[in-house]
Structure 1
Amino acid sequence: MKKSLLAVALLSTLSTGVLANQAGDILVRGGATMVSPDSAKAGVALDGAATPLSISVDDNTQLGLNLVYFFDSNWAIELLAATPFTHDVVLHDPSGVTESVYGANLDGAKLAEVTHLPPTLSALYYFNTGTAFKPYVGVGVNYTIFFDEKFTPTPDSVGFDNLELDGSFGLSAQIGADFELSKNWSINVSARYIDIGTKATFDLNDPFNVGLEGKGSATVDVDPMVYSVMLGYKF
């Protein structure tokens, strides 16, 4: 009987207001964040004319950080930050154009590396569950800045140069949940979609005098899913 009363008391503690978010609470989280871009390939144009080439961007995982400020038990604002993400850009050449021109097939080759930061500001709505499990939904706005864009040695040696990617504004949407381990500590999981689109431009020189040169471009819809698992501390 005593064990049953103790179990009831513990469950009651988990559903009391001491675990509820309150106005002025600040939640700091840190953990792993993976950016998984849309797998669709972006066509490459040269001097505005379409080519058989296309590119895609791979996944990357970094340290994710975010800060949440609560206006009341339901509404909060969240800032997502992270250490810079670096993605491989892969070249796709199913028709073998690069082999016929350069004598080397670059299909599936790592064309370049790009680094970016995707800070995102979101409004969150927490659902009242009366327990330590606190699910939420959110919408926000993102600005992604790209930097340190560079071609890898093989593409660079055949004339690819001066890679640049434009910054991107876009909306985001997410679902997530905190599970409170104690009054201050919690574990968070979340998944969000971010609308990121950028235009990549580059120069294609003609080191082999084959008549293939000009200004290249590709419109890349990165549009990643962003997954996070974090440990949080509430002040």
Structure 2
Amino acid sequence: MKNLTLTAATIAAIAMSTPALAGDAAGRWQVKVMGTAVLPDGKIDKVLVDPGLPAGTDTRADDNYVPTAAIEYFFSPNVSVETICCLTQHDVDVATGPLTGGQLVADRKIIPATLTVKLHMPLASGIKPYVGAGPAYFIFFDEKPGAAARSLLGATKLAFNDKLGVAVQAGVDVALGNSGFGLSLDAKRYWVRPTAHWSNASGAEVLATRHKLDPWVLSAGVAYRF
């Protein structure tokens, strides 16, 4: 996380020293405002503390739809770096086994701090497909034990470990003339394995699991380059 922060700060310092023209379709900066579908997996990767879960028990995280913003800096016409701003909230329910339908996690909030390096491949008529990849640091907060975890396990507290993962992306920007405005479509896939810890009122851990969160993040919106 420290290295990611230093990298972002270095990029910002370089960018701030580079002049840009307002409304320039070839400018250094681009901002995007998009609607985003966050589609996680949430299956159990490993049970670390097992209170006796029935055989065949597995979980799934629910989907969420949120607004997102992206800020991008172009080092050259074909290479840029991008970070996104997003807050998403999910429950985790039992998807298979005798406890199907029971809720283990309620209202888990996530900030997926993401920094990707992108390679752009401009085509004719302002159509600019791209691919990218980079690190992602998932910050979890305000998570609560679900109803099934409270009633079956006696859980009163839940904590997810913040986790470093990776992301890949592909998309396309479509310029609307030379004004700097455009449309954007973006798809990201993350790989991240957070660990959840449920504990009871006395502080004893009653369940611990590692999950394949691995969300697809699909976005569409408008862009402005300057």
Name the TM tier (shorter chain).
0.7 to 0.9
Structure 1 residues 39 and 164: alpha-carbon distance in aligned structure 2, compared to 1, 3 A threshold? closer
Letter in 2 for 1:196: V
Question: Is the Cα contact below 8 Å between 2:140 and 2:161 reproduced in 1?
Answer: yes
Question: Is the Cα contact below 8 Å between 1:36 and 1:226 reproduced in 2?
Answer: yes
Partner of 2:191: 195
* 1:126-141 map, 5 Å: 126-141=120-135
CA deviation map 1:27-72 (0-9, x unaligned): 1001111211126444545458765333221111111110011111
Partner of 2:38: 35
Structure 1 stretches of at least 4 aligned residues deviating more than 4 Å after TM superposition:
41-45, 47-51
Residue from 63, 73, 78 that aligns with 1:74: 78
Partner of 1:9: none
Give the structure, 1 or 2, with the largest relative contact order (CA under 8 Å, sep 6 or more). Answer: 2
Partner of 1:121: 115
Letter in 1 for 2:214: D
Where does structure 2 lack aligned partners over 5 or more consecutive residues?
1-22
Q: Which has the larger radius of gyration?
A: 1
Partner of 1:219: 210
CA deviation map 1:133-185 (0-9, x unaligned): 11001011100000001023454244122111111111111100001123211
Partner of 2:156: 161
Partner of 1:143: 137
Question: Is the Cα contact below 8 Å between 1:44 and 1:55 reproduced in 2?
Answer: no
Residue from 224, 230, 234 that aligns with 2:225: 234
Question: Is the Cα contact below 8 Å between 2:136 and 2:167 reproduced in 1?
Answer: yes
* 1:2-81 map, 5 Å: 22=26, 24-38=27-41, 40-42=43-45, 44-47=47-50, 51-52=54-55, 53-81=57-85
* TM-score, normalised by the number of residues in structure 1: 0.75
Question: Is the Cα contact below 8 Å between 1:111 and 1:155 reproduced in 2?
Answer: yes
Q: How many residues align?
A: 199
Question: Is the Cα contact below 8 Å between 1:188 and 1:232 reproduced in 2?
Answer: yes
Partner of 2:13: none
Identity across matched positions, percent: 27
Q: Does 1:109 align with 2:107?
A: no
Question: Is the Cα contact below 8 Å between 2:162 and 2:194 reproduced in 1?
Answer: yes
Query: Which deviates more from structure 2 when the two are superposed, residues 149-158 or residues 220-229?
Result: 149-158
Where does structure 1 lack aligned partners over 5 or more consecutive residues?
1-18, 97-105, 207-212
Give the whole-Å Cα distance in 2 for the aligned partners of 1:203 and 1:174: 37
